[in-house]
Structure 1
Amino acid sequence: MNRRHFLASVAATLVATKSELSFASSLYGQSQIIPLWDGVPPGGGGPESKMIVSATGAQHQIAVPTLTVMTPAHPDGRAVLIAGGGGYKRIETGKESLPAAQWLTRRGYTCYILSYRLPSEGWNDGALVALQDAQRALRIIRQREKSVSVLGFSAGGHLLGMAAARPEFQSYPPTDKLDSLPAQADSAALIYPVITLEKPYTHTSVHRILVSPHATAKAEAAWSVQNYVTPAAPPFFLVQAEDDPVSDPANTLIMYAACQKAGVPVEMHRYASGGHGFGMGKPGTPAAAWPRAYEKWLEHRSGTGK
């Protein structure tokens, strides 16, 4: 992608995103859209036409990665970076990111909805592009807020799990002074996440897109979140249903064990039923209980708990 196409894509993306989120800003305070990069994103490439948003609010063909900021009436420096899932094929903004942001904004948190690049959409840096965007987003937020937690669903949980566990990893060459800031999260909540790409858990879209169906064991290990949990990792909050047909229920158990081994604070909530992709929870189902537990955990980790 050249600079002329990039600028045209910026304009188209801002219009599309503002249209999608205008109703949310009217109900839940002010919002703004921040492009992650001042120019063409690291590596270049990618789609050259505007972002496509489905009838349910899922995004793909993301030429310009952005943060959509939703601000409560009385912001106090507590922020949450949110990444929806979609198997790195799309981002379920309408079903996951936006409802979570609305819920959190009502509770006083400033929310940053991440529209990250999808590795399969022709970017020259391939599998790295979503992680580049997540790290850049953390740097932007850290210069604006007092604390930053991350909340990721499904593939978004894989993405923000990698970002939270690997703050020192240089996924792209520095582009400006902002890239000298740490890409560090203070805490991380991962909801029905894909954690491991190692065998036998190789059936997911995340595995297929990031490492390919015929990946080596080394490549699978390199993209498995649990392998990067060290004592320096932030506290984690994990949620999964035991009948999840997409992300094997073993994923949260694997992450929980990695945190315990490293001495990292971890809280896990598993539910007998709920499947996959339940977002903030379907009323009347067991998995609908997770937001209340998350609220208490986040208050404590953001410095407001008693």
Structure 2
Amino acid sequence: MDRRQFLLCFPTVALALKSGAIFAASAVKSPYTLRLWPGLPPGGGGPTGEMHISPKGAQSHIALPFLTVVTPVSPNGHGVLIAAGGGYKRIEMAMEAWPAAHWLVARGYTAYILSYRLPGEGWHDGNEVALQDAQRALRMVRSREKQVSVLGFSAGGHLLAMAATRPDYRSYTRIDALDNLPPRADSAALIYPIITLEKPFNHTSTHKILLGHAATPAQEAAWSVQHYVTPQTPPVFLVQAEDDPVSDPRNTLIMQAACIREQVDVTLYRYPTGGHGFAMGRLGTPTVQWPAHYEKWLSRLNRGQIVQA
């Protein structure tokens, strides 16, 4: 492990401990990090200095995006790329990403936690930078695993949905042999995701950060996931609380309808209460049920019982 990798890994592992996602030595190997880019990220610009971690365990000010890899002692050959939300203003690691990784690793899946660039932090490539990181991360996971899934929460759901539905989109110029691999996912789980940025769903932080206040209808459509669903889109798993005040519950209905239109396998679980940001389930609400459904869905996928595009 080189010095930069160590410097990246130390705050990440410290965050895991702080958040309570402590991995038992008998079930997991030591987490480590992988830089996404061999040099500076595409386009340049952005913040300098150390990554910021909030008192609640959210990341921001990410100058060099990276993956944190958490591997079970007996991996099943299935890697899951995780992107936490935060409205593209921060990345909610302690609330969403680390609990999800802990849950996955306990079941034999290798977790790849994405620390992606935030578009509002001065990057020259603007609103493309998070998608660049997601595509590069998918290529990296694809080079290491037999099967690749994505798991995104809120704005992280928007990001990974954009990546999963647009594998042929070239968001950056090829830089090395890794970029010859398609940034393709075999399945996509989207938990209270932002799907559409079109009116009347243009009130979110995702819309503000990616498009600003003067976005045209064409720009809003270009960043709305439902327009990129095709028959080649991988199977989709959706979770939503009907009382979500941030991600309008109609987002998942829009995604479900797009999948049905294109004959893509889609599974949707909606719960009457749970709000936003319930991660792996909020105690006292029915959202605690969704991880068990997700586990069965992943198992069916691994057995070939879910038809992939």
Q: Same fold (TM over 0.5)?
A: yes
The CA deviation at 1:20 is: 2.0
- Aligned counterpart, 2:22: 24
Would the aligned equivalents of 1:50 and 1:61 in 2 still touch at CA under 8 Å?
yes
TM-score (norm 1): 0.94
CA contact 2:190–2:239 (8 Å) conserved in 1: yes
Q: Which runs of 5+ in 2 are unaligned?
A: none
Aligned length: 300
Same amino acid, percent of matched pairs: 60
CA distance in 1, matches of 2:144, 2:23: 20
Cα deviation digits, residues 19-43 of structure 1 (max 9, x gap):
3236735555111100101100000
Normalised by the size of structure 2, how large is the TM-score? 0.93
Is this contact kept in 1: 2:42–2:172, CA < 8 A?
yes
Aligned amino acid, residue 197 of structure 2: L
- Counterpart check, 1:94 vs 2:89: no
Which stretches in structure 1 are left out of the alignment for 5+ residues? 1-6
The answer to whether structure 1 residue 242 and structure 2 residue 237 are counterparts is no
Residue 278 (structure 1) aligns with: 278
* Matched residue SS, 2:34: strand
Report the CA distance shift for 1:304/1:74 in structure 2 as closer, same or farther (over 3 A): farther
Q: Tell me, what secondary structure is at the counterpart of 1:82?
A: strand
Amino acid corresponding to residue 128 of structure 1 in structure 2: E
Q: Partners of 2:43 and 2:179 in 1: how far apart?
A: 16
- Please say if residues 47 and 61 of structure 2, whose CA atoms lie closer than 8 Å, have aligned partners that are also in contact: yes
Q: Is the 8 A contact 1:165 1:228 kept in 2?
A: yes
Distance 2:80 2:217 in 1: 34
* Distance in 1 of aligned mates of 2:133 and 2:9: 17
Q: 2:87 & 2:3 partners in 1: Cα distance? A: 27
Q: Is the 8 A contact 1:51 1:61 kept in 2?
A: yes
Aligned to 2:256: 256
Query: Is 2:187–2:234's contact at 8 Å kept on the other side of the alignment?
Result: yes
Cα distance in 2, alignment partners of residues 51 and 25 from structure 1: 23
Change in CA separation of 1:9 and 1:52 when aligned onto 2, cut-off 3 Å: farther
Cα deviation 1:219-245 (Å, max 9, x = unaligned): 000000000000000000000000000
Aligned-partner Cα distance in 2 for 1:126–1:292:
38
Residues 25, 70 of structure 1: 8 Å contact kept: no
Q: 1:139 to 1:113 in 2, by over 3 A?
A: same
> Which residue of the partner structure matches residue 188 of structure 2?
188
Residue pair 2:5, 2:34 contacting (<8 A) in 1 also: no
Deviation for aligned residue 1:18: 3.3
